[in-house]
Amino acid sequence: MHRYYWAAKAVTQLHQILLLNIGERLSPNTYPLQPINERFSDKAGMLEVASDDLYLREPHAILETFLLYESNIGVKGLSARTLRALYNARSLMNSAFRRDPVNRNTFRRILQQPEGITHAMRLMNQTSVLGRYLWVFRKIVGQMQHDLFHVYTVDQHILMVLRNVRRFFMAEHSHEYPMCSQLAAGWDKPWILYVAALFHDIAKGRGGDHSVLGCKDVRLFCRQHGIALEDARLAEFLVGEHLSMSRVAQKEDLSDPAVIAAFAQRVGNERYLTALYLLTVADIRGTSPKVWNAWKGKLLEDLYRYTLRVLGGRAPDADAEVEARKREALISLALYAQPFESHKALWETLDVSYFMRHDASDIAWHARQLSRHVGKAKAIVRARRSSAGEGMQVLVYTPDAPDLFARICGYFDQAGFSILDAKIHTANNGYALDTFQVSSPDLEEHYRELASMVEANLDRTIEEPGPLPAPGKGRLSRRVKSFPIAPRVDLRPDEKAQRWLLSVSASDRAGLLYLIARVLARHRINLQLAKVTTLGERVEDTFLIDGPELQQNKAQIAIETELLQALSD
């Protein structure tokens, strides 16, 4: 495939030159020249070289071509003569060309232009100039990524991430991601983020950790191009840590002050945090149109805000945070004219962990729905649109049972819902208060019908006695059948050695979470938190669990073995 992309790229270049030549031959008098400088002219919106041998006589003009292309608003492409001259000048772009101080200064100016950066870099890649100037970039041109959530080759993914970062700084795109645009508006040096985007995956395919190898590449680039030490350190940090914010947000418990404190220490300061947040959002969006969703956006935004609070000098204080959320929830409850202190019966059964894992709007919603049902035997199920702006939030309040989570997962599986996130809590009166974020392809069009169906049917499913239903045979997509993913299971204690972290990676299919939940229910494992991450055709789920069997090595091995068997069937 690598050779195919290179061949297709060469054919595209020659095809473009041929079409432009044909157009000029058919209409020779409709292309007047407007001089830009002594070396280039504007020919009907196309950048034209003054002579066919310009690049052979003045190699510095090669990169100047792209600087003029992005800095002249009227220029929208390169003429056939220019493209042909670039093609014939391939041999000039050698190691001496890359070491030339003039060329390095020109390339730095290309990155630092206020406009046109995305178009210039794409054109440089299309004409093979980018790979010949940045030799490390040449190695990943046309390189396939051997996973099912990257739909682009490495070079196209990098340019897509660069484009996403650039859009944060454009007012006409501020409606797409308002928070990112707001943060970008206060950022002083966008080109540092462009450099980080250009290098964040540039070391893929070499073996080893591409983040570590990419740090060496961007450090050398900054030194060679005269970038100030402070800016170079930020670019190197972003390349080295470009995966960390996504991992923490999607796989760790953001209600744990220790998790936030550790991430804040890793980031160091607000400037680095903001830059990492912008790059992370752009990176996830640049992998595939299917990977990004509103729920991932909310997790990243929550992590950003929590970390910013710690970096601002507010040490994590669980008691203060709980009181603040309670006050905010009470204000929300007052707007709904709830009876005085109607929330107390529910809140007295809940501990600090509940209030730390739910934001004020969720706490108020729970109190409104459950204040009259505390301690009653009947299962209560409520559904509403997710506060993240996508999907549906489902609340379940019922007497706790060892197989409750599995039974709920089984219902969602049969009803065609995908579970994005689950927060599991057991009150001190023996009741489970569980919240699920779910999605469905038909949710936007049929939200009311689906919400009513869940509220009417899920409570009956919970209260039905008997064994768990057999899991359905989830169909595998064609891509998974062609590129199977070996399932992996990792069970280890958390940092405090009080609970256990279960990580599962496998091919995505319907009912996968139910298969996992059935195994945990058989071993009477208590689930406290579930984070479901879907990366194209692969899922990476993380569970926070506890249970007496986890203290025995033999039982741990049995759990891991059963999970692997269930995921492989």
Long-range CB contacts for residues 562-569, cutoff 8 Å, separation at least 24: 562/519, 562/522, 563/487, 563/489, 563/504, 563/516, 563/519, 564/487, 564/489, 566/515, 566/516, 566/518, 566/519, 567/487, 567/489, 567/504, 567/506, 567/512, 567/515, 567/516, 568/487
Structure tokens belonging to residue 74? 């009227």
What is the rounded CA–CA span in Å between residue 363 and residue 382? 14
| Adjacent-strand bridge partners of 545 | 500, 527
Q: Tell me if residue 289 falls in helix, strand or coil.
A: coil
Mean pLDDT in residue range 124-136: 91
**pTM, rounded to two decimals:** 0.80
What is the rounded CA–CA span in Å between residue 409 and residue 552? 27
Structure tokens belonging to residue 19? 């079409």
Residue 47 is given by DSSP the state E
What is the rounded CA–CA span in Å between residue 524 and residue 549? 8
According to the model, what pLDDT value does residue 148 have? Answer: 46
What is the rounded CA–CA span in Å between residue 273 and residue 276? 5
Q: Is the pLDDT of residue 42 over 80?
A: yes
Confidence tier at 24 by pLDDT (50, 70, 90): low
**Contact indicator for 222, 194 with CB cutoff of 8 Å:** no
Confidence tier at 169 by pLDDT (50, 70, 90): very high
Residue 468 is given by DSSP the state P
Of 194-203, 357-366, 469-478, least confident by mean pLDDT is 469-478
Of 34-48, 466-480, 508-522, 538-552, least confident by mean pLDDT is 466-480
Of 234-238, 255-259, 465-469, 487-491, least confident by mean pLDDT is 465-469
Q: Is the pLDDT of residue 37 over 60?
A: yes
According to the model, what pLDDT value does residue 531 have? Answer: 77
Closest by Cα among 525, 518, 512 to 555: 525
Residue 351 is given by DSSP the state -
Q: Tell me if residue 488 falls in helix, strand or coil.
A: strand
What is the rounded CA–CA span in Å between residue 75 and residue 338? 63
Task: Write down the mean pLDDT value for the chain.
Answer: 85
